[in-house]
A and B are shown apart, each in its own frame.
Chain A
Amino acid sequence: AQSVTQPDIHITVSEGASLELRCNYSYGATPYLFWYVQSPGQGLQLLLKYFSGDTLVQGIKGFEAEFKRSQSSFNLRKPSVHWSDAAEYFCAVGAKTNAGKSTFGDGTTLTVKP
């Protein structure tokens, strides 16, 4: 069965500091991997996705993520965090044939200190 683990429930960083959010997945075939962001009371916005090719993917809002097959990881990074990045972040894994049917982690809440 597929699963996603986000080990950090809550992370606090100072504005301007770098950020890394961890994601580990379990999936039997080649995964599609996603990172989404969710502001309070809102839906999900896709930050970036990986399904093949270059293992370092760039997304919106200055985010990037690196797929490491050997570690079953897909960690999200940003070199300099802005106060507006405070939100909840979800990692998800989906099938190549049905990218909309995803298994999500439980999320990491990011707080940004001024």
Chain B
Amino acid sequence: DTGVSQDPRHKITKRGQNVTFRCDPISEHNRLYWYRQTLGQGPEFLTYFQNEAQLEKSRLLSDRFSAERPKGSFSTLEIQRTEQGDSAMYLCASSRGQGATEAFFGQGTRLTVV
């Protein structure tokens, strides 16, 4: 059990560019979650997957954002045409199925849009 892994840890991009982040969950976990955390705030739920199915998306997830989990293992979060307001920490978490009582978080990807 190596924990939830996120890559990259830091990303600086110019406004208007596309960025993609990757999350590798704990291997036996079939649920995977994405959160966004802006400075001075708590994490905000964006979306979650059960295996490869994306079951819920927050209103925060504008149409510039897309998340995938094609084989039910790792997931990617892509932001198209980045804006300065997208600057945040993007956190990934994973858990076992419906009976799980907690999720485990990765260390996050810090995005800075300049």
Residues of A within 8 A of B (CB): 4, 32, 34, 36, 41-46, 49, 51, 90, 92, 97-107
Complex Cα distance A105/B37, Å? 11
B56 touches A43 (CB 8 A): no
Name A32's closest neighbour in chain B (CB-CB): B101
Give the total number of A-B pairs whose CB atoms are below 8 A apart. Answer: 64
Q: Which of B12-20, B61-69, B78-86, B103-111 contacts A (4 or more CB under 8 A)?
A: B103-111
Name A49's closest neighbour in chain B (CB-CB): B102
A100 touches B40 (CB 8 A): no
- Determine the chain A residues whose CB is within 8 A of the CB of B110 once the complex forms: 41
Interface size of B by CB at 8 A reads: 27
User: In the complex, what's the smallest C-beta–C-beta distance from B26 to chain A, in angstroms?
Assistant: 12
User: In the complex, what's the smallest C-beta–C-beta distance from A52 to chain B, in angstroms?
Assistant: 10
User: In the complex, what's the smallest C-beta–C-beta distance from B38 to chain A, in angstroms?
Assistant: 10
- Determine the chain A residues whose CB is within 8 A of the CB of B107 once the complex forms: 42-43
Q: Is B44 engaged at the interface, CB distance under 8 Å to the other chain?
A: yes
B108 touches A100 (CB 8 A): no
Closest 7 CB pairs of A and B: A104-B42, A100-B103, A43-B107, A100-B95, A44-B105, A43-B105, A100-B33
Complex Cα distance A4/B43, Å? 12
Complex Cα distance A34/B100, Å? 13
B42 touches A106 (CB 8 A): yes
- Determine the chain B residues whose CB is within 8 A of the CB of A106 once the complex forms: 40-42
- Determine the chain A residues whose CB is within 8 A of the CB of B4 once the complex forms: 43
User: In the complex, what's the smallest C-beta–C-beta distance from B35 to chain A, in angstroms?
Assistant: 8
- Determine the chain A residues whose CB is within 8 A of the CB of B33 once the complex forms: 100-101
Complex Cα distance A102/B56, Å? 13
Contact of B42 among A41, A45, A92 (CB under 8 A): A92
Complex Cα distance A43/B93, Å? 10
